[in-house]
Each structure stands twice: as C-alpha cells, then as structure tokens.
A and B are shown apart, each in its own frame.
Chain A
C-alpha cells in the first residue's frame, strides 16, 4: 500500500515536471510550425530572456564590463530596481526587438533555402546569443525572484496526510507553472486557429513561396513567431531560473525538450504538452520502480528510449502531421 501511495506522489510530480519540459518544447514547436526550422537556439533564448529579466529588474547596466574597460568608468548598476511585472513586460519588448533583428540580419537572407541551412543558422545564433548574454549581463549566477512561491504546498501535504496517512510533496512553483502553461497553451492554440495572423503563420509553415504569392508577409510572420517563441522562452526561463538561479547552464534545458518533441510531434502545441506529461510521468515512474535495481540516474536516457518507442509506431510523433511525399 505504501508503495502505491509513493507511486501516486511520483506520478503527480512527474506530471508537474512534464509541464516544465513542455514549456521549453513549446518554443521549438512554434518556430518549427511557422518555418519548418528546428530552432537550435531555443534554449539560449530562454537563457538570454532570463538574463535580461534579472538585469532589468536589478537595474544592471548592460555591457558594463565593456564600457568600464573602454572608458575607465566604474558603472555597474543604475541604482534602481524595477518591479517584476514591469521588468517582465520590458523583457518581452527586448525579445520582440531581438526577433526583429534575427529576421533582419539572419532569416531575411535565407528565404527559400533548405531547412538544414536555416537550422545551421540557428546553431550560429545560439553561440552568438550566449556570448552576447555573457558580455551584456556577466557570467555570474543571478538570483531570480519574480514573486513566485517555492517549496512544499502545505495544504496538499495536510490534505493527503489526512486521506492516506502520508503527506504528498508538491512544489508550489510547479503548481504555478502548470497554471501558466495551461493559459499559455490555450492562448497559443486560439491564436493559431482563430486569428488571421495565426492562419497566415500556418500557411507560411506549409509553403513559404505559396504564402508569399497570396500576399502574406513572410517577414512579418517570422518576426511575430520569433517574438512569441521569445516570450515562451521568457516564461520557461522564469520557471527554470527561479529554481536554479539564472546561469549559463539554463540553455541546456533544451535537451529536456527533445524527447518531448519527438514524442509529441514537432508541429503540435497540444502535442508538446501531452508529450511533456508522458515523458515527465514515464521517467519519474521508471526511476521509482526500475531505478533502484539498476543503480539509478535512469531519467535522462529513459526519456529518449520512451520517445524512440513512440517513434517506432508513429514516426511523426503523437500529434505531428503525417507527411506523405509522392515521387
């Protein structure tokens, strides 16, 4: 009975962790859906967004080291702090500006190129943004606090203790992540299905040239999609950065999104969520049941094994579009 109760706690935590994975996967899906490009830089976008958010919040002078070295000044902070909500809004604006620059300087020159060329461009972009983030905000680990609660939920612990004689652990940050992810997905699905821009985005995803021929502005769509992906990266960066502090390993969270994408499909927003939940629960349950027999640390590889198993039966992922090419 104890094992069953513990397993239930593991499943609940797996679901919550899955939501955190899905938040990262969503950004990949958006850009792939709109441009057929696997955006290697999505993890770095989350890092850059989180760095910018903390920098703005703390009134940090961007490029301070560079300015000080060039001018012999001792600038570090402006001497003010910015409230969280305003800092998030300003960071979102920075991400829109970044999307505009990416389109102007990178994507515009690659219209009509093979997806592999665009993929390679995003690899370059990832390295560039990582370096830019370092020069702009510094490499130290920054504490991120936007007011999200962390730690065990007392009410859930008390309630489950009364029911099962064992209080479940649920992190309050995970509960918030779930609510925010649900709102984000609902908004994104509604946008893609019911708005003119959303439909234009899907048209661009189907065929760049055809979309251009019916008067859709490819440039506008790309700026829009990269802006939304930047905003999603900001949300993912806030959630993961609250837990670990904002540091350069934040970009590695992209690795957690890959099995989710393989499983859920690269083109489906609900697929990213369902994929995240399956991976989250699957890896946690496997670690709980099989982990102790094989020495533990099974989660990283099991996530990929699980995704590969799904691929055997549905190569396009659970919710991906089936592509049939006739020759």
Chain B
C-alpha cells in the first residue's frame, strides 16, 4: 500500500495591514478607479493593530497557539471577544508583524527590487537579529538602505510602490522592467511577499521537524501567484527561490497550481515522489496572496466590523517515507474530481468524499473529521458567502443521507461531530483543507483521532480557460509500526518456506 509520512508542519501568518490597505485588490482598485473615497477613509479606521490580530482566536488556532476545541469555546463575534493572553509564537509557527515582514521581503529579494529607507533598515536589522530562526547568511542579505529622497524619486519617477508603516514610507517595491506587465512593481510585490511567506513557513517547518536545510530534497510550492515575464507569464519557480533563501542547498523544486485545490494536489504530488522512492524529504509549502488582503472589506465596513483580512497566510508540510511513527497519507484512496464528474456540488462531494471511502471499504462515519474550505466564518458571512466550512460539512452529511448511510434526522449530529470550525484567512489556497493537517496529525499521534480527510476545491473558471472546477482529497491515518509488519512478513516467509520444504519432501518421496 502506497503511503507517505507527514513528518512535520508549520503554519504562519504575516500581519500586514498597511500592505493590505494600499495593495489589497479591493482598496487598490477602488483607489485606482475612484480615488480616496469614503470607503477608503472608513477602512483606515477599521484596521486592526498587531496586538488585536494576535489576540484574534482563529489566528491563534492557525499558528497552533490554541486548539480547535478551544476555538470552538470562543464566544462570537470573536473580534469582540479577543483572547486575554496570546503569544506571537504558537507551536506551529508565528504571526510576524509588518515591519519585520518588510525586512524579510528584502532578505528574500535577490534583484534589488525592494528598497528600504535607511533609518528603517537599521531599525529592522536589530529586530530581525533577534529572530531565532534567521541565521547570519540570511541577515547578511538585508540591505543597508537608501535615503528617503531616493525612495521617493523611485516612487514618483519610476513607478515603484511605496511601502508604508502608517503614514511613514519605509521603503518601496520597484518594477523589474519598464514595459513588461508581468514584472510591474505590483506583480513583484505580490510575488516577493508570497516568497517571503513561504520562506518563513519553511524555516518554522525545519525547526518543528528537527531537520537541517541540506536534508531537504525537493520543494513543491502551491500558492496562486504567477512568476514569469511577458514571454512566459507563469514560468515559475517559487519553490526553488524559497529553498535557496532557506539554505536548502540540496533541494530542487517546482510549482503546482490549481487555484484553491493547489495545496491538496501539491501534497499528493509530493507524497507520490516520496512513496515511489524518488525523493526522501519533500516539502510542500506556500506563502500568502497580497491581492486577497481586505478582499471583503467593503462588506466588513458596511457591517461596522473590523477589517479582518489583514494577514497573509503561509504553511509548510514535510513528507517522508512511511516511518511507522508519524501519521500517513494513503495514496491508494485519493479523491479526484474528474473532467466528466460534473460541476454540481453533489457530483463534486461524491467524487471527493464517497468514492475514496468506497475504495477502502469505509463509511462516512469512519472518518473522524473532514476538513474542506476552512475560511473564518466571521469574514465570509458578512460578505454573503455564508459559513463555508459548515456548508461543506452539511453537504457531506446530505450526501451520506442520499447514499443511505445516514438517517436524515442524524444530519445535525454528524455535522457537529465530523466538522471543524473555520480558522483560515480568505487567502484562496490557504483555507483549502491543509490548515487542518497539523491539528489532525497531533490528534492522531495522541490517539484522539483515527482518520481525517483533507479536501481541496478550486474555482478554475475564474481563469476563463474552462468552466470546470477542480478538487482533490486524501485521507490521513496513523502510521503502522514497522515491527508488526516485519513480524507478519517473517511469519509469511516461514510458512512459505515450510510449504516449499513439504513439496520437496513429497517430490523426493515420489521419486523414491
């Protein structure tokens, strides 16, 4: 049976309200089309401080600062019931403040695209030196900075985008080419931020998994950004660029894309490399999406609530050969949404949930927890998109009823027991099932859970190439101890040898 172990995981957020305010697609487009409107002015008053973002329960659940059980206990609205005590670091990762993240973007910039203002550069240098995961060679990459006039000249004359902390311009993101739209300052800001988020998650992953950078063999990146130029718009490769900064000198990598289904497809791609023996330590990772920051802020402002979408999401998962200890991904029962499967929610749910269960002779109830589209409901509800995770669990329950595997009256109970609360930012690829891998593996290792199903779904039609959507799923279960397997194999060998000997003896008898 083909399996790959999940040997480590990390989850990080980058709290970047100023990048969100200026370059999130919703406020950015508003400013471009209509200028400094009422919406923009109101948005400014609804931004959260770093402390507030840190004390927001779903953010702590994401970085492993609190458990999902604790998140469920949190009174709503959670933005009015913030946690009393909370830390920058959780057991999976951290919430990095914006000033340090801008510094990290500069560390990740190898083409002198990010310029830092010199006073800010020296301030942030001493801060980043205090970060336990950044080593000397990474810190050395931080530039000394430019005088404020040079930054403003670049902004005013060469289309660089200013980087702000409040009213203060602390740097800028320059363009990579004078006419190539794929190398505009906006696209490069998006890509460098995504790269930096991926690097931060990879650094935390290596710490969490106790693995050295040089031991990583391959990186699969699965964000929704496109790196390239006019002749190859989505040429790639974020994975290798991230591995380079993190010091993974023996790694190569590639990018996998499928909108929000990217991460699940990428985990499958990585796990298959591991299970086939092609590569040993494979990392699947992604940083966040700048354009999706403050995506639903118009609705949040209307409902007089804080603009919650101020964090870039990132994650990293380490996959390795099945080791008997760590939870495993089963590759013999992957959910696949085929071209012909159909686009109705029923067809999708059936392909992603029911078909893999049938392959293993399992029932809906044999999965302890399902994880699909884990958006924070407080973010999506005011925007008219509903409680997305809840809708998914209801669909699975309803499908179980249709398949005659569940009483209709037991639907609510099923949803309550098998679902989990949404705790991921509306960062597209980030909410799609993968944030649960960490919590699920912890529960499996603690014998509190037997099986989890991770489900990814992607809206391919947004790219105007096909009307199809995409989806993929996999099941995580406990790793099997090697001893048992070895004992069983020895037993089998003994029996086989006995059979052969017996046959031989009989042949000899006959010959006599």
Indicate whether A and B interact.
no
